[in-house]
Each structure stands twice: as structure tokens, then as C-alpha cells.
Amino acid sequence: MQVPLIRLQCGVNSYEWGKVGHESAAAKFAAATPSNKLSIQQEKPYAELWMGTHPSLPSKDVETQRSLLDMVQDNQALMSTEISKKYDEKLPFLFKVLSIRKALSIQAHPNKKLAEQLHEKDPKNYPDDNHKPEMTIAVTPFDGMCGFRPLKEISHFLSTVSSLRSLIGESAAKDFENAVSGHETSDSEKDVEKNKKALQAAFSTLMKIDKSTIASAAKELVASAEKEGEKFAGGGGPSNGGKELADLVIRLNGQFEGDIGLFVLFFLNYVKLEIGEAMFLKADDIHAYLSGDIIECMASSDNVVRAGFTPKFQDIPTLTTMLTYSYAPISEQKMHPTDYPYVTLNSTAYSSSSSAILYDPPIEEFSVVKTELKKKGAKATFEAIAGPSIFICTNGEGTISVGPKTEEVKAGFVYFVGATAECVLESQSEDFTTFKAFCELSGKESANGTK
């Protein structure tokens, strides 16, 4: 019987926003597994390393070159019968490494029902019928935009950024301010619903403005940012200072001159993640990644509804109608990882402050464990779970063992571990870091919040 430990060869996508050449972690990790299809070109951008069974870029067994999809479909025990049946014999999650040099599109991912409708209507731009909640974990310092700002901040920017107010128009700006004034932070269901409608109206007004008008207003905005510095945008808001916002506007204009995204940023939270920090994005949440290397895990889908910071297909009508229009400070978007309870560290691991940290979003398709073994000989033994796992090493070197089979692990090595298999990681360096994505249905909430 085959031991369910399979080293994977994973593909890397070359999108324009990716880091170039050997600066890209996605490229370096992909190149760690020899392939006649990949030779890193120093001027070429490498954006995403994909680990999973998604047909757009499926992972393969290094030894046999069979796709992981073929293997899990041939042998349901690799994922468990329950997970195989529930997810049509496909891995429930798509695991990625992203290396971001410049802004990704302002985007959201559809919920399951909308994904089915979009795929049926426009399969070219919406290639599958699945939803795509996702989680981001910073591997290097990261910044991005995520979710709508608190309403008081949006009102502040409407009153202090003249080019933004002119774009939206005095009438629409006043309608928003009057609608939310006095109950911006109210928990009342009636107030929240009223606030969301006001936010949708103001945001939709902005998004429907023609490109030439946006480009003209952007020149005024950038000139203000360059001139005003710390005083820009009324000195900023509680979340971001004026200088920080001015620098952001100038930087993004250098990447996408005159783009609507320069104004969208006043509606969205601007977030910075330090290494190890994470955020979770539900389906229908608006976001845009701006820079950094991240581990990303999501439901297995490639559906993106875009509107800004991109030359690709944009679907503004769908975006403005699909969003939740939830608004909150970025602190509520960040995740709070906990110790992973189903791992045993040996004495060397304990004495060196090694750790196994769980990032556990409120959905059933995936969770992620980050393991840091900080001394040679440190060992982490993961209990068997009733679902599949994928491991990637991002730093250091060591070994991975399942039953009698032991394999070497270095930065960029990726392994699939089958369901019900105990797995052991052992460090052969002073800092051995891995990320494990896994699915186990027992006790997890579903994507719609039910058990």
C-alpha cells in the first residue's frame, strides 16, 4: 500500500503584478522542485504558486507526474470518503504563495449562489461555479486594502478631499453624510441597514463615473498629495495619517495613473500586516492587495469580480450590487491565531520556543497551521486528521515523515499528506518554517455559518 506522503510539483503564474525574477518567493519556491517547464527569467514577473487540484494549474506528483486531482479521484481514502463526496472528489481548498510587487485589482469574490449564476452566464470571465472565501497570512511585511472603513472616516474624507467630493457630487455626498450622521457606530439592525444602503449609494455613484472624469480628478488628487504631505486629507483619519495616505496615493498613481482606485482607497481600510499576521475575507468582501509576500488559502475557485487597478475585465455592475457593505475598523478584519492543539512538540522544540499556530477561519473548507521549529532536532508530531493536508516549507530545512517514509524538506518543497496519516516534522536547521493547509469537516462551520 502506498504511503500517503506525496511530494508535489506546483505551477507558478506570471501575472504582471508579481515580483520579478528571483525577487519572487513564488518563483523561488516553484524552482525548488526541478522542472523542464520553469527556468526563472530575471525580468519576468512571477505572481502565484498554486498548490492543489484546481484545473487551471493542477499540482502533480514529482515522481510519476500524475496530477493530484487524478490521484485523489482514484483513491478517495486520500481525502476521506466524506470530503470526497462533499467536494466532488476535488481538494476543497486552493493553497497559494503570492509575491506582490504592485497593486492587484480592487476585487471581490462571489458567494456560492452568485458564482453559479456568473459561471452559467459568462464562463470565460467566471471559470467555475464555486465561492472563494480566502485567508491571507503575511510571510513578509504586507499592505493592502480590506473592507469598508468605519463610516466616520469615510465622512471625514468626503469633507476633506475636495477632488473626491467633487467626483461624487455635492448632492450624493450630503445624502451619505445625512443618512449616517449620529448613528455611524450604532448596532441597531435598522440603523445598520440604513447605513449600508447609504454606503452602497455613495460607493456606486463613484464607481459609475466615466474614466476621463476620474483621470482629470486624479490629477488634482495627486497634486494635493504631493503638496500637502501630513496635511493631506485633513491630516488623515484615526486609522491612517495624512502623510501615509499622501504617499499611498502617489505610489499607486505611479502604478495605475489616473485610476479609480485612487479614490476607492478613501472608502476602504488600508491595512499593514507584519510577518505572521493574518486576515480573513468572506465571499462578497471588497479588497485589494498592494505589496508583500503572503500565504493565501481559499475555497477552490478562480472567480474574481474586478473594478480598478487592472487592465483585465472589469464588472462594476456586479461588484457594486454583490458587496456586503459591511463597515468596520481593520482590527475586526484581522485574525487571532491560537496554539494548534493536535500537535506534540518534543523537548528540543519546547526548549527553543518552537510553535505550531492555528489560523482557523469560520468556514469548513480549510484551516492553516504555521509551524516554526527553532533548533536542529526540534520535532512536531501532528495527530492524524480525517482530511487531506498540504505542507509547504518557507524557510530552513528538515524532514517530513509519514509511517516508514521520510523525505527531505527545504524551502519551496511541497508535500501532500493523506487523511488519517500521522505526520512528523523534524528540523535540521535553526529555523525551519512550514505552513500546513488542511480540511477536516468535524466541528467546523460551513460557509454560510451553519454547523
Report the binding-site residues for Zn(2+): 107, 109, 134, 287
Between strands 432-438 and 405-410, the pairing is unpaired
66 is known as an active-site residue: no
Residue ranges of the binding site = 107, 109, 134, 287
What string of H, E and C letters represents the secondary structure of the chain?
A: CCCCEEEEECCEECCCCEEEHHHCHHHHHHHCCCCCCCCCCCCCEECEEEECCCCCCCCEECCCCCEHHHHHHHCHHHCCHHHHHHCCCCCCEEEEEEEECCCCCCEECCCHHHHHHHHHHCCCCCCCCCCCCEEEEECCCEEEEEEECCHHHHHHHHHHCHHHHHHHCHHHHHHHHHHHCCCCCCCCHHHHHHHHHHHHHHHHHHHCCCHHHHHHHHHHHHHHHHHHHHHHHHHECCCCEHHHHHHHHHHHHHHCCCCCHHHHCCCEEEEEECCCCEEEECCCCCEEEEEEEEEEEEECCCCCEECCCCCCCCCHHHHHHHCCCCECCHHHCECCCEECCCEEECHHHHHCCCEEEEECCCCCCCEEEEEEECCCCCEEEECCCCCCEEEEEEECEEEEEECCEEEEEECCCEEEECCCCCEEEEECCCCEEEEEEECCCCCCCCCCCCC
- Rounded to whole angstroms, the Cα distance separating 71 from 417 reads 12
For cell 515580483, the residue is 19
Amino acid at 398: G
Number of Cβ within 10 Å of residue 321's Cβ equals 11
Between strands 142-148 and 268-273, the pairing is antiparallel
Which listed residue (7, 101, 149, 306) is catalytic? 306
Q: How far is CA 273 from CA 96, 138, 368, in A?
A: 17, 6, 17
- Rounded to whole angstroms, the Cα distance separating 341 from 354 reads 14
Helix axes 170-180, 151-160, angle to 10 degrees: 150
- Rounded to whole angstroms, the Cα distance separating 268 from 165 reads 16
Return the active site residues. 306
